Chain A
């Protein structure tokens, strides 16, 4: 990735000032007359990313050694931050039920194992997930497990806005606490940042429940398709301006998915936003994080970049399926003193 070629900057679209949806954060940051042009100028005004420095910093953060009691704490924290995910075409109600069972009791041999933050499923599976969770469904409470639904024509995002909004509303109405939406990467890469912005604002509005509260909105940037770190920074900023509660790296369907440098960059964005506004935005790396060792590197990066206040499920999540089993194996090793094996965790 280089910072020299950024498709967002090189392509210009319609000359007429397109007035954008009045998102509160964007108006406060950019100014009252929010147009496509003013948004683009704002995004292009963001400083470029030092790619070499970013990767070196990420590699440096990955070398920390976390042992014994710190490791035990890290493993439990990782479990509490996991969005346990199944996003397959072959998902069945039975598969969702077993996923929920795993989310509630990750390790049947050790009842002290914490629960995961959420289960993440396709929108049409939300009723099954809610039913399976029963009383353990958080549904706005602080304890319990959330239901997250991917929406807006996940994973490609190639559908009309009406379809995306219907997708979102249906999931929220079925009881989803969190919506993972994908941005229109095609529009972003061809410079139509206003379109991307308006869609996020519209989806955010579709997250509103009947009682006026909102489902949490996670905005998936699909960084593997954005090509440059500069684009990742702009897209992150754009997603926050439009009202995202979380920015998420990837769908997990595109390689490369989450990488440490990209996550570090997104953490820098939320740190900068916090310094600017005092508001904390969450970050969710998803896809490709399979080992405890990798996940601990992410925790180190969070603590060193955004700060330890971010080491909570409301501000940092892992989108993962196979990660949980590896964390459980490591946890069993710490508890029992001997190495465990895949026979002692569930088959995914």
Chain B
């Protein structure tokens, strides 16, 4: 017996919901050989604005969670990601034209990266923080704190899932919230990852995923006064110097473009933190 296929509608992920683009636009996602795969939402600057509003609203709760709690939540995302392995493998092999084995390896790598970063959530403060020596009867302590809303251009050239995970996970570790522009040509696994996030314990708005043109969206995010940091990992082929100049207007923290996919590193976590230093008397008397 024949049956009709049920094609999936890929939408945006903003504030814990899956809206269509405010502009009503969509674009065709095709495989490397040119075969039609799906329609994805083509986000507009107003979707980016809405995503920043949602991300800003989520900062309070996510950054106030204990490092241990954030680590647990992030670890659970890795579990759920692994549970959807078959779907990710299918999407990756179709949209990136890679073998099932290569797609499987990418999903495994993405899960591993996520677990690696989840482990840092309750440890990075010990590594990056410090008890400073001062000449007086005081404790002088420096601790890293999340900077706020991080806008990210995900790697565009390869690894739709691994690239996204490698830039989103480090920003989340410290308690920042994220607005990420997915891989333009292979956005399907980004939206499927959003479905994983929506069914995990991450509060809505902590991660917001936009699909569409980084060239169109990145300037609005870079100049947005309510964005605290900008990760240009996938902006190699954009006018990224202009983006850095726009970001400098509001003193954003900026990470430069990366060729390929950035490997796991503590530096990516600390890039989105600010150092708070407090004094406290040594004696309680």
Residues of A within 8 A of B (CB): 332, 337-344
B226 at the interface (CB under 8 A from A): yes
Instruction: Decide: A338 and B226 in contact? CB cutoff 8 A.
Output: no
Minimum CB–CB distance for B150 against chain A, Å: 14
Instruction: Report if B246 contacts A (CB, 8 A).
Output: yes
Residues of A within 8 A of B227 (CB): 341
Query: B123 contacts the other chain (Cβ, under 8 Å)?
Result: no
Q: Contact: B226 with A341, CB < 8 Å? A: yes
Residues of A close to B49: CB separation below 8 A: 339
Interface centre among B225, B226, B246, B249 (most CB of A within 10 A): B225
Determine the distance from Cα of A341 to Cα of B56 in the docked complex, in whole angstroms: 9
Interface string of B217-248 (1 = CB under 8 A from A): 00010011111000000000000000000100
CB closest chain-A residue, reference B226: A341
Verify B56–A338 contact, CB threshold 8 A: no
Minimal Cβ-Cβ distance residue in A for B223: A338
Whether the pair B246, A342 counts as a contact (CB closer than 8 A) is: no
Contacts of B225 in A (CB 8 A): 332, 338-341, 343-344
Q: Is the CB of A340 within 8 A of B226?
A: yes
Q: Which residue from A339, A343, A344 sits with its C-beta under 8 Å from B223?
A: A339
Tell me the minimal C-beta distance from A157 to chain B in angstroms: 36
Which residue from A339, A341, A342 sits with its C-beta under 8 Å from B220? A339
Interface residues of B in 77-117 (CB under 8 A from A): none
Q: Which of A338, A340, A344 is the one whose CB lies under 8 Å from B246? A: A338
Residues of chain B within 8 A of A343, CB atoms compared: 225-226
Please report the number of residue pairs spanning A and B whose Cβ atoms sit closer than 8 angstroms: 28
Q: In the complex, which of the residues A337, A339, A344 has the most CB atoms of chain B within 10 Å of its own CB atom?
A: A339
- Closest chain-A Cβ to B109's Cβ sits at a distance in Å of 35
Chain B residues with CB below 8 A from A344, complex form: 225
What 0/1 readout, one digit per residue, does chain B (144-171) give for beta carbons within 8 Å of chain A?
0000000000000000000000000000
Q: Is B54 an interface residue (CB 8 A)?
A: no
Name which residue of chain B comes closest to A337, CB basis. Answer: B223
Where chain B touches its partner, the secondary structure class is helix
Task: State the interface size on chain B (CB cutoff 8 A).
Answer: 11
Quote the shortest CB–CB distance from A315 to chain B (angstroms): 33
Residue of A nearest to B246 (CB): A338
**Closest A residue to B149 using CB positions:** A341
A345 to chain B, nearest CB (A): 11
CB distance from B99 to the nearest CB of A (A): 43
In the complex, given contacts A339-B225, A341-B225, A343-B226, what are 7 additional A-B residue pairs having Cβ atoms less than 8 angstroms apart?
A337-B223, A338-B220, A338-B249, A339-B223, A339-B224, A339-B226, A341-B52
**Residue of A338, A340, A342, A343 most packed against chain B (CB within 10 A):** A338
Considering the complex, give the chain B residue whose CB is closest to the CB of A341: B226
Cα distance A344–B56 when bound, in Å?
Answer: 14
28 contacts between A and B (CB under 8 A): A332-B225, A337-B223, A338-B220, A338-B223, A338-B224, A338-B225, A338-B246, A338-B249, A339-B49, A339-B52, A339-B220, A339-B223, A339-B224, A339-B225, A339-B226, A340-B225, A340-B226, A341-B52, A341-B56, A341-B224, A341-B225, A341-B226, A341-B227, A342-B56, A342-B226, A343-B225, A343-B226, A344-B225
Minimum CB–CB distance from B125 to chain A (whole Å) comes to: 25
B224 cross-chain contacts in A, Cβ below 8 A: 338-339, 341
Residue numbers in B under 8 Å from A341 (CB-CB): 52, 56, 224-227
Top 3 closest pairs, chain A to chain B, by CB: A341-B226, A338-B223, A339-B224
What's the nearest-Cβ distance from chain A to residue B53, in Å? 9
Chain B positions 7-28 with a Cβ under 8 Å from a chain A Cβ: none
Query: Which residues of B sit under 8 angstroms from A338, Cβ to Cβ?
Result: 220, 223-225, 246, 249
Query: Complex: how many Å from CA A343 to CA B220?
Result: 17
Contacts of A340 in B (CB 8 A): 225-226
Minimum CB–CB distance for B72 against chain A, Å: 30
- A342 surroundings in chain B (CB, below 8 A): 56, 226
B266 shortest CB reach to chain A, Å:
28
Q: How far is the CB of A46 from chain B (nearest CB, A)?
A: 42
A341 CA to B225 CA in the complex, in Å? 5
Tell me the complex Cα distance, A332–B49, Å.
14
A215: min CB distance to chain B, Å: 40
Cα-based distance from A337 to B225 in the complex (angstroms): 11
A220 to B240, CA, bound (A): 55
A341 to B226, CA, bound (A): 4
Q: Smallest CB–CB gap between B49 and chain A, Å?
A: 5
**Separation of A332 and B52 alpha carbons in the complex (Å):** 16
A268 to B227 Cα, complex, angstroms? 44
Minimum C-beta distance from B216 to chain A (A): 14
